[in-house]
Structure 1
Amino acid sequence: MKPDPITQPPSDASARKAIQPVVCYPRDTLPLADLAAYRAVRDDMELVETVVIPPREAATWEVPAGHFCRMLCSEGPQVGDLNLFNLHDIEERFFSGKTRALNGTHVGLGDQLFSNFPYMRPIATITHDTLDWYGFDEFGGSVHDVIGTRCDPYTNNLLSNGGQYHHCCHSNLTRALSQKTGLPLAEAERHVHDVLNVFMCTGFTRDTGQYFMKASPVRPGDYLEFFAEIDLLGCMSACPGGDCSAQHSSDTAACYPMVVEIYKPKRLPEGWQSPPRNGYDRSHGVQA
């Protein structure tokens, strides 16, 4: 628990707290995806690859630009920690912080996933979400968060007084990326980044502001689907917390495999083009 405040509130404390908030990044100037154009090509798409991610492990797959990627709950409620990379340059990868700032704490239908600086462009667009009915519950929880970092062995080591647990999502992602790219573990780990927590139900407690998780509402047959705006390398861990109803990094939680399906549409969305890298000139105010 955080300690009680030691500073006496000023006389105008209530007035300061009553100031209305301002949205940092209004979306009216953000180029949004034409969701109708994406959905118009979904009906007759062809399944071209299926990847099964074992419980408490991770796997990788490739998604060519112009294809759909579906992450599916197959056997039981299970959360997945997702990393995305530019297939041809893994220095460009999913940027959860800016995606969160532009879309909100949880992503869903129509939201775009952005890459890191200096590339910063939409690399994927969410085109279908069978949990879009959930919204925000009475606790402030919602699904598919971009606020959690991923369960990791370093935090586990701190909280367990020296424990060495190797199936945290961070380690799972590191092993899978190393195997896919041939990079040594230490170098692959450098590229593992904050995740999209697929199916995870999370929020912040209203009294203490602490990050919480609760049992995911996902059930077999549910899926989250995105359209690849560029050639992507996906890497996802089937979290050792299972549905995250009790704890992270556990050998006792009920865990299930996750399935990834790649679909090729017979035609591309009308007017679609793969987005270029961000147009900022990178001079940072210094004259050449």
Structure 2
Amino acid sequence: MKLIRQNRAPADADARKAIKPVICYPVDTLPKPDMRLYATARETLELIDTVIVEPRDASVFRVPAGHFFRIISVEGAQVGDLDLWAAGNLDERFYSGKTRALHGTHLSTGDRMWSGFPYLRPMATITWDTLDWYGFDADGGSVHDVIGTRCDPYTHHLLSGQDYHHCCHSNLTRALAAETGLTLQQTETHVHDVLNVFMCTGFTQDTHQYFMKASPVRPGDYLEFFAEIDLLGALSACPGGDCSAEHSSDTAACYPLKVEVYKPDQKALEGWCSPDSSGYSGGHGERPGC
């Protein structure tokens, strides 16, 4: 894709471009997770539930507040799309845009998944990442992104003119509908932007387009979270497999993913409490009498 410029640069173009950037959301005052407490609790974990997510499909799982869960690669390189909601309230859901603004384009240990307005509280904290060694590669790629959305049948149809029913959006919709009893049409409005677990992505340096490349994940790798609130989760095993070629396909090699839920010794969490929703008053500057 060639960038088309229709205007000549002004005389002070270089000076305008040389202005130093400013971080939009300085996080010095952002409440920080107690990683030392989580590390202690991790030593006491007891496995209480296991969910297998089949290739090109999705499954739901529940995690009580104060518990841990892991997304695990079990057979081959496979990426997953993760949605989170507050258990019992589908209106409170993961907000990828604000999470990206607070923590950056890709998440790892110590970063949190935040819920949307009017709640804006941490839903889950990443407590272990076996791929944290990857960092950023020479292409600007990294893993576990909050840049992209989720592969979906609408974009697939827009670009190919064909219907495909196993995009992550459809997978998540089917799984959530089966869990809640809502129709597919009702459920679809609750499916939202995801954490792309294990997916290796970035932006090209020339055209600045969103790219993907083969995930570095291998069987045994996992991403672990601490549930800050009672959670309902849904995970799709992406039809793109490791996303080395395409992400809405029946030809890519795809593998299952596993979700494990763990209960820690509650004594190890002494002093921890589930976060409250945002303390903002909700007034929005409304004038008296309105």
Task: Give the structure-1-normalised TM-score.
Answer: 0.98
Cα shift at 1:287: 4.2
Distance 2:241 2:7 in 1: 42
Partner of 2:230: 231
Q: Secondary structure at the match of 2:16?
A: helix
Cα shift at 1:270: 3.6
- Give the partner amino acid of 1:65: A
Partner of 1:206: 205
Cα shift at 1:12: 1.0
Cα shift at 1:3: 4.2
Distance 1:52 1:108 in 2: 23
Distance 1:72 1:261 in 2: 8
Partner of 1:180: 179
The Cα offsets for residues 127-185 of structure 1, whole Å up to 9 and x where unpaired, read as 0000001000000000000010000000000110x200000000000000000000000
The Cα offsets for residues 230-259 of structure 1, whole Å up to 9 and x where unpaired, read as 000010100000000000100000000000
Distance 1:36 1:218 in 2: 26
Partner of 1:137: 137
Cα shift at 1:18: 1.2
Partner of 2:38: 38
The Cα offsets for residues 8-49 of structure 1, whole Å up to 9 and x where unpaired, read as 001111111111111111110101101111111101210000
> Residue 7 and residue 64 in structure 1: after superposition, are their counterparts in 2 closer, same or farther (change >3 A)?
same
Count of residue pairs the alignment pairs up: 287
Distance 2:36 2:27 in 1: 18
Q: Secondary structure at the match of 1:28?
A: coil
Q: Secondary structure at the match of 1:21?
A: coil
Distance 1:212 1:36 in 2: 35
Distance 1:285 1:65 in 2: 34
4+ aligned runs moved over 4 Å, structure 1: none
Cα shift at 1:87: 0.6
Please give the residue correspondences for 1:1-288 in structure 2 after superposition, counting only pairs within 5 Å: 1-160=1-160, 162-267=161-266, 268-288=268-288
Provide the alpha-carbon RMSD of the alignment.
0.8
- Give the partner amino acid of 2:49: E
The Cα offsets for residues 174-201 of structure 1, whole Å up to 9 and x where unpaired, read as 0000000000000100000000000000
Distance 1:3 1:25 in 2: 29
Name the stretch that deviates more: 1-10 or 274-283: 1-10
Cα shift at 1:88: 1.2
Gaps of 5+ in 1: none
Q: Secondary structure at the match of 2:155?
A: helix
Q: Secondary structure at the match of 2:189?
A: helix
Cα shift at 1:53: 0.2
Determine if contact 2:69/2:225 at 8 Å carries over to the other structure.
Answer: yes
Task: Give the structure-2-normalised TM-score.
Answer: 0.98
Gaps of 5+ in 2: none
